A and B are shown apart, each in its own frame.
Chain A
Amino acid sequence: DTEVTQTPKHLVMGMTNKKSLKCEQHMGHRAMYWYKQKAKKPPELMFVYSYEKLSINESVPSRFSPECPNSSLLNLHLHALQPEDSALYLCASSQEGWYTEAFFGQGTRLTVV
């Protein structure tokens, strides 16, 4: 199984809503990532978890809150988002170590209204 599964595929939320994005992998990878991708732009790194601990936060606003409940799951909790937060949110995972690639999920298309 070389898949990273993200749910939901599409999400529309209001600016006062609270929602969560979910990501799951069963490849035994110990590093997991959240990326944000705006239209016609490359993915931008948001968070990295390594061995279930947050290791990198790229100065992401606190309205985005990551969580890694176990080595297979990664969540991104959303609260009080702005319309400019509308984007494709990609989850990825990788083994720890040199020369290892990241495996990406299909993404969640988020629209904030």
Chain B
Amino acid sequence: AQSVTQLDSHVSVSEGTPVLLRCNYSSSYSPSLFWYVQHPNKGLQLLLKYTSAATLVKGINGFEAEFKKSETSFHLTKPSAHMSDAAEYFCVVSPLDNFNKFYFGSGTKLNVKP
């Protein structure tokens, strides 16, 4: 069975400081992993995806994530938060044996203080 756990429901940072949003997954195989962002009352936008080509994945808006198989983690980071980063972030796993299923984590709400 596949699942994804986002370890923090809320994260609050000051503008200009680093962001860390944590995600752990469970999967029988190395899955596809994604991070999506959702601004209030909007759809979901892909930030980045892991496709087995490289363990450090760079995405849009300065975000990146590192796939660590030994820790079954795919944490999202950004060196310097911007006010516009305030949103809900979802870690998503898609198993290789059922790639038409996307399993969502519970989400992490990022608050950025001025």
Count contacts on B: residues with CB < 8 A to the other chain. Answer: 22
- Indicate if the CB atoms of B44 and A104 lie closer than 8 Å: yes
Q: Is the contact region of chain B dominated by helix, strand, or loop, or is it mixed?
A: loop
Closest to B103 in A: A45
Contacts between the two chains (Cβ within 8 Å), count: 60
Contacting pair B100 A43 (CB below 8 A): no
Min CB distance A7 to B, Å, is: 13
| A33 and B99 alpha carbons, distance in the complex (Å) | 12
Please determine whether B104 and A43 come into contact, CB atoms closer than 8 angstroms.
yes
- Whether the pair B90, A106 counts as a contact (CB closer than 8 A) is no
- A105 to B45 Cα, complex, angstroms: 9
Contact in complex: B32, A42 (CB < 8 Å): no
* Cβ-closest chain A residue relative to B106: A42
Residues of A within 8 A of B14 (CB): none
Partner of B102, one of A55, A102, A107: A102
Residues of chain A with a CB closer than 8 A to B106's CB:
41-42
Whether A107 contacts B43 by the Cβ 8 Å rule is yes
Binary CB contact string for chain B from 41 to 73 against chain A (1 if under 8 A, 0 otherwise): 111111001011000000000000000000000
A4 to chain B, nearest CB (A): 8
10 residue pairs A–B, Cβ–Cβ below 8 Å: A4-B43, A42-B104, A42-B107, A48-B100, A56-B100, A56-B101, A99-B99, A101-B34, A104-B43, A109-B41
Residue of A nearest to B109 (CB): A40
Task: Give the chain B neighbours of A102 by CB distance below 8 A.
Answer: 46, 102
Give chain A nearest CB distance to B2 CB in angstroms. Answer: 12
Tell me if A21 counts as interface (CB < 8 A to partner B): no
Question: Once bound together, how far apart are the Cα atoms of A99 and B48, in whole Å?
Answer: 12
Closest to B36 in A: A104
Please give the distance in Å from B18's CB to the nearest CB on chain A.
25
Given A45-B101, A48-B101, A107-B43, 11 extra CB contacts under 8 A: A33-B100, A42-B104, A42-B107, A43-B104, A90-B44, A92-B102, A98-B96, A104-B43, A106-B42, A107-B42, A109-B41
